A and B are shown apart, each in its own frame.
Chain A
Amino acid sequence: MFRNVLRTAFLLSCASIVFLVCAGSMFLLNVLTRPIAAAQPAASRIVYGLTLLPSGFDPHINASAELGIPLRSVYDTLVYRDPITKAFVPGLAERWEISPDGLIYTFYLRRGVRFHDGEPFNALAVAANLDRITAPETRSQKAIFMLGSFERYIVRDEYTIELVLKAPFAPLLDSLSQVYLGIASPKALREYGTDLYQLHQVGTGPYQMVEFIPGDYILLRRNPIYRWAPPFYRMDNPAPVEEIEFRFFTDPATRAPALESGAVDIIGELAPLDALALARRDDIALLPQPIPGMPLQFLFNTAKAPTDRLEVRRAIITATDRVAIIDSVFQQLSPVAYGPLTAVTPFYEPQVKQYYPHSREVARRTLAELGYMDNNGDKILDLNGVPLRLIVIVPTWGYAPQVAQRLQSQWREQGIEAELRQVPNLAGLLAAVQSGDYHLVAFNDFGADPSVLNNFYLSDARNNFMRVSNANLDQWLRQAVQTSDPAQRQNFYTGVQGLIMDQALILPIRDYVNLNAHRKRISGLAFDAYGWFPLLANLTLVGDD
């Protein structure tokens, strides 16, 4: 009797859970839900998955690359880079002139351009944007530094503005082509102030920001009067996407199921195994996109024994089988990296491929010539009683842990012991580097201009993790940003890349490739010159899948 009643009670309460959850949720619904204007999707709305959730979304203030994925299409820039040739092409400036001394850039602006709020675009609008970016109270985290030696501007007339520099700064056009220097409506900037503008962004681009709920979504809608596109935006698009909802898939494991269930139409940063599995489906297409900048690499600390010795560094690179790492970690979806710049970066020098082909025998011989022997039979080489032991700082992101584990096992076979020290975030990495107690650290950065190297390889660079001090390197890196002549820059960067590899300052692993996939109801997915930012205006709806 007692048991029977209890059994019934148990089953009844189990069954009633479903009902109560429903009832409770209905209650919550009534109490908590306020009407959401944008809840009803438009006929042609797609969902685009972002993979990071930046704390700030103001391109003039914040530095995250993620913000550019939606905002690249909200703003136009004075110039653009062609996605394929990476050459500079007109944007909001129809044309531009650079003075022979490289100190004055004159931009002749396009007429008839309007911001999403109806305000006209002109030289004063450009001036207002420069004022905002350079104002100390804006506390710009990236845009202001991208302006380099910018000193002041001169508004020549309504459609002509000059940017005056203190010193020649070749990457300026590259900076001006990026979303961080996108031109915003001066009226909106005034109206919302530094803190709230990010929620109400107004540009001139092919899409306008309709709504932004931080942590939740960003909704863009097509700009119907957009007629001032750069040449690579497809203006005869038969079925452009009307609305795009951006949501945050910060957990890598959620990305593939979201695509499979149709919850998301486009998403990037897929895990290589997920990407391969998705590519086998009929309704999903894979689009690997190489990213210009630095590859996934391990930087050698040249100030700490034994990696202070050039021959040791060379032996370590030679001992590393990069192809095996690409095969197992990246499923052959990334190219092997050979130098400090990825192969799609302007001024990349293919000659770096000749450095340090994998050979266990050569590595063994090199180390033996240096006096490294296994004297105590522990299978680890030693020199004067000190074992050949490397401390490797491994960030938890970018597949560095998986790569580091394979390095560890490859090196062990060579008699080199590696201790992997994982760091959970940038703060941990910087602290670990500052201690100086490491031989290698995995790190990279992105950008279409090789001046990204200056933050790492100049002897007084903040991120000189290699603790390198090389007069030639310093001189070439500096000169390369002072001349705007492409041939001269190519010469400097050829020298820089050769020197970095000759001195074995880094162990390059793989060129960064963003693994994007999209449902086939969309076509035309392509990315800009920086690799991260989609050309949303070129997306075409094919139909339901």
Chain B
Amino acid sequence: MLRFAVQRALSALFTLWSAATLAFIALRLAPGDAIVLQLALSGATESQIAARRAALGLDLPLGVQYLNMLSRLLRGDLGVSLVNGRAVTALIGEQLEATLALAIGALLVGTLLGLALGIGAALGGHWLQQLAQALIALLLATPVYWLGILAIYVFSVWLGWLPSISRDNSLQALLLPCGVLGVALSGSIGQMAAAGLHEAKKAPFVQTARAKGLPVHLIVWRHMLSAYGGALISLIGLQSGFLISGALVTESLFTRRGIGQLLLNAVNGRDYPVVQGVVLLSALAYSLLSTLADILAAWRDPRLRRQGL
């Protein structure tokens, strides 16, 4: 157990360091910097721009800037935005709650719908299999953006049931955005679930269980999902990447605040500290999620326990 914890902590640290470094390199490779972009249309002279870059340390050699950044991060200082001068922690803090609510809700919808589709596609009767497989294919091919616009027209404009503006974290406000993002997510989860269960159906232990005359729901829930549920949980954990990009689209469609919009603006404005902060947060969330998924997976699947835990 201790070995597992240490291993995990080290790998999380490595993930964070690589994320910070990659973000640093990617941002510096991209053209333009925050100050030049801010002042491009202002009428500022070259020397005024140079003075401002110098005051922020943006004129230092890249190696020095990189070390400065690492030392700041080690001290737990994420810095301040180059655009609005506010602390990065405050900027992220005020958006985090909204994104978490959206992500958790979407994951919930996506997992439930995805599992249902997966079970239908792998184990249902002929027409059910066809239907579920077609739905999965359709969902995989549907961009979340299109789905969102469609949902707005159907539920807000035509039916008038739900607001197209997602003002807060109330049920009414979350239903459409979480539904849209969740449904978009369910395609890939359904595909993975179907593949896992297809394999499970052919496994000797399932054949044995059926030969023993066990009730079907016991075979599915106790045997098949035990055997393949672990892998499925890990794979669902991996969807966090899709969640972040999907959240960006969903937030802008439903005029919700959130990390996605913050990141997009920061990247476009070359607001280095803000991008760095959001990237680190995502890396941290990813490490935590995948650790959690591994623990859950090991709990569901004793075979994994012997390898890692």
Binding site for B on A (CB under 8 A): 1-7, 9-10, 13-14, 16-17, 20-22, 24-26, 28-29, 32-33, 36, 39, 47, 53-58, 61-63, 136, 139, 141-142, 145, 194-196, 198, 213-217, 247-251, 253-254, 257-258, 260-261, 263-264, 425-428, 430-431, 445, 454-455, 462-463
Contact = CB atoms under 8 A, between A and B. Distances in A.
A61 B84 contact: yes
A55 B81 contact: yes
B255 A254 contact: yes
B112 A63 contact: no
Contacts of A261: 152, 156-157, 160, 163-164
Interface string B98-136: 101100110011001101100110011100100010000
20 contacts: A5-B217, A6-B124, A7-B124, A7-B125, A10-B116, A20-B112, A24-B104, A26-B171, A56-B85, A139-B52, A214-B94, A215-B257, A217-B167, A247-B255, A248-B255, A257-B149, A263-B163, A263-B165, A427-B270, A431-B31
Contact of B40 (A14, A215, A462): A462
A66 to B, nearest CB: 12
Contact of B85 (A4, A16, A61, A455): A61
Contact of B109 (A17, A57, A257): A17
B128 A25 contact: no
B108 A62 contact: no
Nearest to B261: A215
B37 A430 contact: yes
Interface in B51-85: 52, 55, 80-81, 83-85
B28 interface: no
A366 B108 CA distance: 67
Given A32-B169, A257-B157, 8 more contacts: A9-B119, A13-B112, A56-B85, A61-B84, A250-B261, A253-B253, A254-B149, A426-B268
Interface of A is mostly: helix
B124 A141 contact: no
Interface of B: 30-32, 36-46, 52, 55, 80-81, 83-87, 91, 94-95, 97-98, 100-101, 104-105, 108-109, 112-113, 115-116, 119-120, 123-125, 128, 132, 149, 152-153, 156-157, 160, 163-165, 167-171, 174-175, 178-179, 182, 210, 215-217, 220, 252-258, 261-262, 265-266, 268-271, 274
Contacts of A61: 84-85
B271 A14 contact: no
Contacts of A54: 265
A14 B104 contact: no
Contacts of A251: 252-253
B198 to A, nearest CB: 13
A322 B31 CA distance: 33
B37 A426 contact: yes
B169 A39 contact: no
Given A2-B216, A251-B252, A430 B95 contact: no
A455 B45 CA distance: 10
A261 B55 CA distance: 49
B39 A29 contact: no
A32 B97 contact: yes
Contacts of B262: 215
B179 A21 contact: yes
Contacts, number: 214
B43 A145 contact: yes
Contacts of B210: 2
A463 B40 contact: yes
Contact of A214 (B163, B174, B254, B257): B257
Nearest to A196: B86
Contacts of B269: 55
Contact of A250 (B81, B119, B252): B252
A28 B85 contact: no
B112 A16 contact: yes
Contacts of B153: 257
B31 to A, nearest CB: 3
Contact of A215 (B95, B156, B174): B95
Contacts of A39: 167-168
B174 A257 contact: no
A355 B253 CA distance: 43
Contacts of B40: 426, 430, 462-463
B128 A21 contact: no
A448 to B, nearest CB: 15
A28 B95 contact: no
Contacts of A24: 104-105, 108-109
A216 B41 CA distance: 27
A32 B124 contact: no
Given A10-B124, A196-B86, A455 B41 contact: yes
B164 A257 contact: yes
A47 B104 CA distance: 28
